[in-house]
Amino acid sequence: MPRVLYIDDDEGLRHLARKALRRRGFKVETADSADSGIALLKQDEFDLVAIDHYMPEKTGLDALEMIKALPVPPPVVYVTGSDETSVAVAALKAGASDYVVKTIGDEFFDLLASSFRQALDRRALVAAKDDAERALRASNERLAALLKEANHRVANSLQILSAFVNLQASSVSSEEARSALKDTQQRIAAISQVHRRLYSSDDIETIDMAEYLQPLAAELEATWSTPTSPRSVRLIAEPLRLKTDKAVSLGIIVTELVSNACKYAYRSEEAGEVRIRIAREDENFCLSVEDDGPGMDTNGKPSGTGVGTRLIRAMAMSLKAEIDHSNGPGTSVRVTAPL
């Protein structure tokens, strides 16, 4: 049976309430004042409290304020006279679950019992909702932790794969094979950078493109630079976050375009700069990769195997992007895609 504390200074009404409410399925204890009622609430647990408005020394509103200050306050049903609408409204604003107008006879106790059940049902629903939200938060935290761990392991695995490719490149004699393996290593690095960012970030759905592209640009610069042919890869990035799959596609495009510029835009024994720019433009984002070389020969034979060009087209298709080329002086490739 739900335990109810009935606070009222009228001894006769307290006695009636105890008997009438017990018949209606409630175990009732009573108190004759706000202070004695609060003392009982501090000593024992009650499922619900009913408070009469008019009491000596402290009113029902005073008692309601004291109840709400308890660590775990039970729901409160407020009892008022028939002409005290303003008091009932004040009680509801102060946190009462419901109010019942005091009358003579069984109808009053029927209404009171009905109000008790509704208040307890609401409390049970709120408790169930809170439990469900806590369980959902805990589940989300576990899933986020598992996803971070997965990204960590993928990044480590890609790092190992990159080392294997590097080892293979050092053991082949063909310059063409070494170049192809070097390109493969850079493509692996582009994907690995995404998983590193996801592992170290609290946001596992989007990637800060400046934080992602900066180390990628640094790796590309270190890869394609030699003491006699230094390559400077400079990044200019406005604040922009993209979904993980978009970031991966864009990283591969950047890797291919920068690698092509480092390899083909400048002559051997010549320094050169490659510039990467990324920014938001209305509902799109725009990536451009520029160099200061002689420009691209659109009518000549492709300089490489053509794998990079196919990769760029495939990634652009996944982004629903448009690619524009411009020549002279230098080469500029611009990729525009919807956010």
pLDDT of 132 reads: 92
Residue 302 has pLDDT above 70, yes or no: no
Mean pLDDT value of segment 83-94: 85
Q: Which residue has the higher pLDDT, 177 or 5?
A: 5
Mean pLDDT value of segment 101-128: 89
Output DSSP code: residue 71: S
pLDDT of 204 reads: 67
Domains with residue ranges and CATH for the chain? 3-102 (3.40.50.2300), 218-339 (3.30.565.10)
Task: Report phi then psi at 113, rounded to 5.
Answer: -65, -40
Q: Which residue has the higher pLDDT, 307 or 310?
A: 310
Indicate the pTM of the whole model.
0.55
Both ends of the chain: CA-CA distance in Å? Answer: 58
Residue 235 has pLDDT above 90, yes or no: yes
17: closest CA among 119, 109, 116? 109
36: closest CA among 51, 16, 21? 51
> What is the tens place of the pLDDT at every residue in 36-61?
999 999 999 999 999 998 888 899 99
Residue 203 has pLDDT above 90, yes or no: no
CA 300 – CA 330 distance, rounded (Å)? 16
Q: Which residues pair with 132 in a beta bridge?
A: none
> What is the tens place of the pLDDT at every residue in 256-298?
899 888 888 888 888 999 999 999 988 899 999 999 888 766 5
Q: Which residues pair with 208 in a beta bridge?
A: 241
pLDDT of 32 reads: 92
Residues of the chain with pLDDT > 70, as a percent, come to 94
Task: Report phi then psi at 114, rounded to 5.
Answer: -65, -40
